[in-house]
């Protein structure tokens, strides 16, 4: 199977050249795209497990004295859908996705869940093409900076802010949507985190959850001088 110039360029961004390019094509094929060769759902299932094993091993090697209680939130921060989607954007995976008309019309190339799923499928495709060590090299290269800074990413800002407030006898913070911009298929939400004492911080993101976390993180930084 001969790959298009766009997909060959994606191999360059991925840092891996397939000996069986049909695996990459399947990994890039969303279920909305009618094709006899199948979609990427089964590869996504496998890629999630491959990514998990790579990250679990990487975390154990990075901090040999860390307890399970410390490792678990770091692991979750590295394998969650938002992290996979962020890596997908880093290598412009959305540009080469094979989507049906409905997904194309609703901004599928920018959807976080769709990008995250496709990233996992691509990892599985590398694994099926050349084995675990090849997949591990790809993952560690793409996730490298995130692994180095996982301690900060692993902190659940909303939980930390609530604990800070409760420790001072305050009610839990509230989160208020103060704005929404962009088209329906790619909205940007603005969320304000507020304490009953009047302190507040605002943040914007493509999902309410991400905006709430960012607002909580910013407010906590104000309160603690961090």
Of the candidates 48, 103, 112, 117, the residue annotated as catalytic is 48
The string of DSSP codes covering 79-96 is HSHHHHHHHHHHTTGGGG
203, 182 Cβ separation under 8 angstroms: no
3-class state of residue 168 by DSSP: coil
| Residue 48 is a catalytic residue | yes
3-class state of residue 175 by DSSP: strand
Among residues 125, 150, 144, the alpha carbon closest in space to that of 42 is found at 125
189, 180 Cβ separation under 8 angstroms: yes
**Distance between alpha carbon 61 and the CA centroid of its chain, in Å?**
22
Among residues 216, 213, 189, 223, the alpha carbon closest in space to that of 201 is found at 216
Of the candidates 44, 103, 112, 120, the residue annotated as catalytic is 120
Kindly give the interhelix angle for 132-148 and 112-130, rounded to the nearest 10 degrees.
140
Q: Which residues are catalytic?
A: 48, 120
């Amino acid at each position: 199977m001969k790959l298009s110039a766009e997909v060959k360029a994606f191999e360059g961004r991925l840092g891996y050249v397939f000996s069986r390019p049909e695996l990459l094509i399947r990994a890039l094929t969303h279920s909305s795209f009618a094709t006899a060769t199948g979609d990427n759902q089964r590869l996504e299932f496998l890629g999630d497990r491959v990514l998990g094993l790579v990250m679990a091993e990487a975390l154990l090697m990075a901090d040999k004295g860390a307890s399970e209680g410390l490792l678990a939130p770091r692991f979750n921060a590295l394998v969650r859908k938002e992290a996979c989607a962020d890596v997908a954007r880093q290598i412009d995976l959305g540009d080469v996705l094979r989507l049906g008309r409905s997904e194309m019309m609703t901004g599928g190339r920018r959807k976080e869940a769709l990008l995250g799923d496709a990233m996992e499928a691509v990892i599985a495709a590398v694994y099926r093409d050349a084995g675990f060590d090849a997949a591990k090299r790809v993952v560690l290269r793409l996730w490298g900076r995130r692994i180095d800074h996982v301690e900060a990413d692993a902190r659940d800002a909303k939980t930390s802010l609530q604990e800070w407030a409760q420790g001072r006898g305050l009610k839990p913070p509230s989160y208020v949507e103060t704005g929404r911009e962009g088209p329906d298929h790619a909205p940007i939400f603005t969320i304000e985190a507020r304490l009953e004492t009047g302190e507040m911080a605002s943040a914007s993101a493509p999902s309410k959850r991400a905006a709430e976390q960012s607002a909580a993180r910013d407010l906590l930084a104000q309160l603690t001088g961090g």
